[in-house]
Amino acid sequence: MSDAQPLVPAVGELILEAPRRGKPPQHLADLTPEQRREALQQAGLPAYRAEQVSRHLFVHHGADPATWTDIPAADRERLAAALTPQLLTAVRRLECDNGTTHKTLWRLHDGSLVESVLMRYTDRVTMCISSQAGCGMNCPFCATGQNGLTRNLSAAEIIMQVVDGARSLDAGEVAGGPGRVSNIVFMGMGEPLANFAAVSHALRVLTAPAPHGLGISARGITVSTVGLVPRIRDLADMGLPVTLALSLHAPDDELRDTLVPVNNRWKVAEVLGAVWDYAEKTKRRVSIEYALIRDINDQAWRADLLADRLRGRLAHVNLIPLNPTPGSKWTASRPEDEREFVRRLEAKGIAVTVRDTRGREIDGACGQLAAAE
Ligand code: SAH
């Protein structure tokens, strides 16, 4: 990483008050292929088994050593103990949309709770995953932000959310028959770029070809961020063409300072500059996320200002109807205001989509299930 400055001074108290939590046990998915072999050698096991276990995990999605039938039964438990400690325990599984949306609430080894969501569409399966337990970014409209940051997830805790989704697809648990995970969005709990080391390793493993990783196309992966400018540059330097999503939510500093508090550190112009550099370097169209909040950020003049800031750039706007959090006075925009917002963006030639609200009845993707526990 190129910049060691504190990321978000404004929320330092929250992070300090969070209980100290133990590091999760080390797992094969935390390691490079070479480190996996070394770990086995150190445990007195043959190094070549690392590749077999990787194949079971990343190709067959079989975390249960009993299914590793190409490995002598006597060795399986020792290999599992050395390489695949159980990191995630499902506390609750919910489904909706006729069985095509599945949400899982996970308990981690130290009792922290995170969630992931699997959404099947006609042409793809998208998983929305968490990168931190809680979040330190303190955006006032987001349920996850209200309880502060508990801790970073390890790379393996991130990756195993996807492995479990792949397993449930193999097993036919998701309506529509067996299938594979084609897309991943880092839009569950946490700020992925505030956990850069684990997230960047997870990106490598998710995209690595079999047997060393899951072989998912980088183009199908979206990293969503509040806009940690130095880390956006680090992500660009990885040379992986993942899609970047910027949670902008306001085109002007005055409002964005309150909606996305990290804006007090990196202003709209600066974060957009980093994002355009990212688009240039990766040739990937950047997604500008904008939660429409009634009478807060949905005025026609803000649509015009947003369009002016994006015009001519490799970007599209993803409007998200606000999913109101319990106890908040804010709600989604009126339909006519949403339509006018879209119309003004389109009139200035900006590509815009309105996000569908999959999983809303099971509080999908906005941290509300974990918050309620
Ligand atoms: N920390 C990252 C990723 C997690 S949130 C980020 O902020 O980008 C994923 C997206 O959901 C972000 O754009 C976030 O602003 C948005 N979001 C959070 N709470 C929301 C809510 N209540 N309604 C609609 N969108 C919300």
Q: What are the pLDDT digits (tens) for 183-211?
A: 999 999 999 999 999 999 999 999 999 99
**Domains along the chain?**
28-83 (1.10.150), 89-372 (3.20.20.70)
Residue 115 is a catalytic residue: yes
Which 3 state secondary structure label does DSSP give 332?
strand
**Vertex 363: Cα angle to 243 and 251 (nearest 5):** 45
Percent of residues in the chain assigned helix, strand, coil, to nearest 5: 40, 20, 40
User: Annotated catalytic residue: which of 115, 157, 191, 289?
Assistant: 115
Mutate to test the pocket of ligand 1, among 189, 229, 247 (most ligand atoms within 8 A of CB): 247
Question: Which residue's CA is the nearest one to ligand 1's atom 5?
Answer: 187
Q: What is the pLDDT of residues 39-96, one digit of tens each?
A: 999 999 999 999 999 999 999 999 889 999 999 998 999 999 999 999 999 999 999 9
The pTM score is 0.93
Question: Residue holding tokens 């770029």?
Answer: 193
> What tokens were used for 264?
């007090």
Predicted confidence at residue 147, as pLDDT, reads 87
Listed residue (129, 122, 156) closest to 53, CA to CA = 156
The preferred substitution site among 185, 191, 289, 369 for testing ligand 1, maximizing ligand atoms within 8 Å of CB, is 289
Residue nearest to atom 15 of ligand 1 (CA): 247
Residue identified by tokens 């060795």 is 75
In tens, the pLDDT along 332-349 reads 999 999 999 999 999 999
- Can the peptide bond before residue 211 be classed as cis, meaning omega within 30 degrees of 0? yes
* Residue whose C-alpha is closest to residue 161's, from 195, 224, 117: 117
User: Which residues, 6 or more positions from 112, have their beta carbon under 8 angstroms from its beta carbon?
Assistant: 21, 133, 134, 150, 151
DSSP 8-state secondary structure symbol assigned to residue 347:
H
Residue located nearest, by CA, to atom 13 of ligand 1 = 247
Q: What digits encode the pLDDT tens for the residues 247-268?
A: 999 999 999 999 999 999 999 9
Return the exposure string of 225-235: e unless at least 16 CB atoms fall within 10 Å of the residue's CB, then b: bbbbbbbbbbb
Cα 168 from Cα 79, distance rounded (Å): 23
The tokens for 30 are 């935390």
Q: Are 173 and 213 in contact (CB under 8 A)?
A: no
Across the chain, the runs of DSSP E, i.e. the strands, are 89-96, 101-107, 113-120, 125-128, 132-134, 149-152, 183-186, 221-225, 243-247, 286-292, 315-321, 351-354
CA-based nearest residue to 323, from 273, 270, 367, 282: 367
Structure letter (DSSP) for residue 293: B
Residue type at position 131: S
Decide whether any atom of ligand 1 lies within 6 Å of the 333 Cβ. Answer: no
